[in-house]
Amino acid sequence: MILQGKIWLFGDNIDTDAIIAARYLSTTEPEELAAHLMEDVKPDFPGLVQKGDIIVAGNNFGCGSSREHAPLAIKGAGVSCVIARSFARIFYRNSINIGLPILECEEDFSWLKSGEDQLKVNLELGKIIHLQSGREYSAAPFPRFMQELIARGGLVEYVKTRLASR
């Protein structure tokens, strides 16, 4: 899968309260959650982010609570992919389980121009291209088991296959 979009830059340790504050958790609709995505960190973000955009962050993205509302809100906003230097484990797990592509990349991307620069991402190869400069970067591709989960459309589809084979 090839994704291409404008990037939005965030820092280290963006927690799930920052991604979607608890006061909005009384819904599970991705679109409704998306209306408040990153509101406490960047209040104008819900109005700026567009379908296909890519979130680029530092270390430990998605730390804090286990709320699946966080990747759901990101998916609901149409964000095509999240690239970070590292992810908190439950966030990582949740993203894969709901089919939100995420890539772990050691690279320091903090020099990118937020809301301007564009990246092109090849998920299978873990390849990232900065369109403005043509520079190429590599990210850790998914472990095989996770590729399988994604290929099957996430954990729900995986479980359906398991149930059908009983």
Partner 1 sequence: MSNSFGMTMVEKILAAKAAKDRVVPGELVNVEVDLALGNDITAPVAIKEFKRFGLDRVFDPEKIVLVPDHFTPNKDIAAAEQAQVLRHFAKEYGLKYYFEVGRMGIEHALLPEQGLVRPGMIIIGADSHTCTYGALGAFATGVGSTDLAAAMAIGEAWFKVPATIRFEYNGQMPEWVSGKDLILLTIGKIGVEGARYRAMEFAGSAIDSLPMDGRLTMANMAIEAGGKCGYMQPDQITFEYLEGRVDRAYTSVYSDSNASYESTQIFDVSKLEPQVAFPPSPDNVFPVSDAKGIELDQVVIGSCTNGRIDDLRAAASVIRGKKVKEGLRLLIIPATQQIYRQAMEEGLLADFIDAEAAVSTPTCGPCLGGHMGILAKGEKALATTNRNFVGRMGHPESEVYLSNPAVAAASAVAGTIVHPGEVLS
Query: How far is the CA of 60 from the CAs of 3, 44, 64, in angstroms?
Result: 23, 23, 10
Residue 88 binds partner 1 (CB under 8 A)? yes
The DSSP 8-state label assigned to residue 87 in this structure reads B
If one counts every other C-beta atom within 10 angstroms of the C-beta of residue 75, the result is: 21
- With CB under 8 A, what is the number of residues at the site for partner 1? 41
For 91, the token pair is 């966030």
For 115, the token pair is 């809301």
Distance between CA atoms of residues 94 and 71, nearest Å:
7
Site for partner 1 in 91-110 (CB under 8 A): 93-94, 97-98
Residue 66 binds partner 1 (CB under 8 A)? yes
* CB-nearer residue toward partner 1: 36 or 130: 36
**Residue 158 and residue 150 in contact, taking contact as beta carbons nearer than 8 Å:** no
Residue 115 binds partner 1 (CB under 8 A)? no
Residue 67 binds partner 1 (CB under 8 A)? yes
Residue 22 binds partner 1 (CB under 8 A)? yes
- Interface ranges with partner 1 (CB under 8 A): 13, 15, 17-18, 21-23, 25-28, 40-41, 59-60, 63-69, 72, 86, 88-90, 93-94, 97-98, 143, 145, 154-156, 158-160, 162-163
